[in-house]
């Protein structure tokens, strides 16, 4: 099945010059959406599309430019800043709007003279979450993460027997999902070290988790299962995600019901959503390694086997307070390719989540789980990189880290590149640790 169309054509260029620079996150082949407004004043929220160094304001664009048949009605929820209403329109509407935006922003477009007036400077904008998140579920698809972390807790059986069969997940906290740039206060909690009794206080083992977030567009009715054939059409797009984690609190609280307060204090996402349509050139077969069990039939489909996986690079970067003061650039701590890191595909997560009749709703957020590469040094968290806090990481300026310190800024980035396709980026999400109080 051909996944790509004219919107992915590598020869396509934009009249917004900066979008044509090689290596830019936001070429015309990408077209990610965010909810935003001018930072000064109290103008209403609206959606925007990132194009090169600019953002096309879809409120202005709807007012200022003519659009094709039926497109204006589809753009209205975006112009009104109601991303959830747009996501609820479903996959056909998303594709039509992508095609319309691609034509409008393409070199030679007759809409260019109108839309030139609707371009905003990103640094003059403020961003919000795209919509109210009803529920947030965090999965555990990173098999190398599961193995490494499992080995720290259970050297004899790192990977539990259910791992190759069940996409493991837990229900996270939606209310504390925050958008790019929001400070993250070091949480307080109960932990138990070597002493005979636990103590309450600021976490001393604060960590990041390198993840992707999947946004649910069209949901399903309670009691209705979404099969593999329909699963991917429920997914609107992707964002870099940081699942901040307090390891000392986690280690003490996690048995027997899983993580709770060690995770629910903050989860950071980028405001930009890169749609699944934009990822078409980077879809790859989903294949189980030799000797691994095949997915049960409800988690299997021809399409998933042929193109369920995504060839995407994910990275975590650290800039300490001292590095900021001395103007040293951030240092990359983690990197992985999702193809290698993720044991389950996005469609499998949706099919599994709804397999008991659970209703996903528009704006629900699914985390992939920490994405670690197979090699030592490719851990997607400090827990892995420091061997459970035993081996400090040496930073270029002479500092050392086992876990995060106050003033540290962690940035999660993601991008796709492949021969014959224009590279696209997912932007980034940063958060800075503030002292506990």
Per CB under 5 A, residues contacting Ca ion are 138, 209, 243
306, 332 contact by CB (below 8 A)? no
Query: Measured from the CB of residue 408, what is the shortest distance to Ca ion in angstroms?
Result: 18
Query: DSSP code of 213?
Result: E
Question: Buried (b) or exposed (e) across 125-139, using 16+ Cβ within 10 A?
Answer: bebebbbebbbbbbb
**145 belongs to the catalytic site:** yes
Query: Measured from the CB of residue 64, what is the shortest distance to Ca ion in angstroms?
Result: 42
- Which residue among 24, 54, 145, 352 is the active-site one? 145
How many angstroms separate the CA atoms of 213 and 368, rounded?
6
For Ca ion, which is the closer residue by CB, 100 or 149?
149
Let me know the angle formed at the C-alpha of 375 by 372 and 379, rounded to the nearest 5 degrees: 30
For Ca ion, which is the closer residue by CB, 138 or 315?
138
Nearest residue to Ca ion on Cβ basis = 243
For the chain, the maximum distance between any two Cα atoms, rounded to a whole number of angstroms, is 73
Residues pairing with 51 in the sheet: 54
Q: How many Cβ atoms are within 10 Å of 164's Cβ, its own excluded?
A: 17
For Ca ion, which is the closer residue by CB, 135 or 138?
138
The torsion angles phi and psi of 413, rounded to 5 degrees, stand at: -130, 160
Torsion sign over Cα 197, 198, 201, 205: positive
How many angstroms separate the CA atoms of 115 and 370, rounded?
40
Query: Measured from the CB of residue 23, what is the shortest distance to Ca ion in angstroms?
Result: 29
For Ca ion, which is the closer residue by CB, 135 or 209?
209
DSSP letters along 360-378, please?
P-TT-EEE------SSTT-
How many angstroms separate the CA atoms of 409 and 243, rounded?
14
Query: Measured from the CB of residue 361, what is the shortest distance to Ca ion in angstroms?
Result: 21
For Ca ion, which is the closer residue by CB, 141 or 220?
141
Q: Please identify every residue annotated as catalytic.
A: 145
């Amino acid at each position: 099945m051909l996944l790509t169309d004219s919107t992915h054509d590598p020869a396509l260029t934009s009249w917004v010059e900066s979008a044509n620079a090689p290596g830019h996150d936001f070429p015309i082949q990408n077209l990610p959406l965010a909810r935003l407004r001018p930072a000064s004043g109290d103008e209403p929220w609206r959606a925007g599309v990132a194009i090169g160094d600019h953002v096309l304001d879809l409120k202005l664009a709807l007012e200022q430019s003519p659009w094709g048949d039926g497109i204006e009605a589809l753009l209205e929820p975006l112009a009104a800043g109601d991303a959830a209403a747009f996501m609820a329109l479903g996959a056909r509407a998303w594709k039509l709007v992508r095609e319309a935006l691609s034509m409008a922003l393409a070199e030679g477009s007759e809409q260019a003279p109108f839309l030139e007036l609707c371009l905003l400077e990103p640094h003059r904008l403020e961003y919000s979450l795209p919509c109210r998140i009803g529920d947030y579920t965090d999965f555990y698809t990173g098999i190398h993460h599961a193995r490494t972390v499992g080995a720290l807790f259970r050297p004899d059986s790192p990977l539990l027997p259910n791992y190759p069969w069940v996409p493991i997940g837990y229900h996270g906290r939606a209310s504390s999902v925050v958008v790019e740039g929001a400070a993250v206060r070091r949480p307080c909690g109960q932990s138990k070290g070597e002493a005979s009794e636990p103590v309450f206080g600021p976490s001393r083992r604060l960590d990041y988790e390198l993840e992707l977030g999947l946004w649910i567009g069209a949901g399903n009715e309670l009691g209705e299962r979404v099969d593999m054939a329909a699963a991917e059409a429920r997914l609107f797009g992707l964002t870099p995600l940081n699942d901040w984690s307090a390891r000392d609190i986690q280690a003490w609280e996690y048995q027997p019901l899983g993580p709770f307060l060690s995770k629910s204090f903050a989860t950071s996402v980028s405001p930009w959503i890169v749609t699944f349509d934009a990822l078409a050139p980077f879809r790859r077969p989903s294949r189980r390694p030799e000797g691994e069990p095949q997915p049960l039939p409800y988690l299997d489909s021809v399409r998933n086997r042929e193109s369920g996986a995504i060839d995407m690079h994910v990275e975590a970067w650290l800039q300490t307070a001292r590095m900021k003061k001395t103007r040293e650039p951030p240092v990359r701590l983690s990197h992985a390719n999702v193809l290698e890191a993720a044991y389950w595909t996005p469609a499998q997560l949706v099919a599994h989540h709804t397999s008991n009749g659970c209703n996903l709703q528009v704006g629900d957020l699914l985390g992939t789980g920490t994405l670690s590469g197979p090699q030592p040094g490719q851990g997607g968290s400090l827990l892995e990189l420091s061997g459970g806090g035993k081996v400090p990481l040496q930073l270029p300026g002479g500092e050392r880290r086992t876990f995060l310190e106050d003033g540290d800024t962690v940035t999660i980035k993601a991008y796709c590149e492949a021969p014959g396709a224009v590279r696209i980026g997912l932007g980034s999400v940063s958060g800075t640790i503030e002292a506990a109080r």
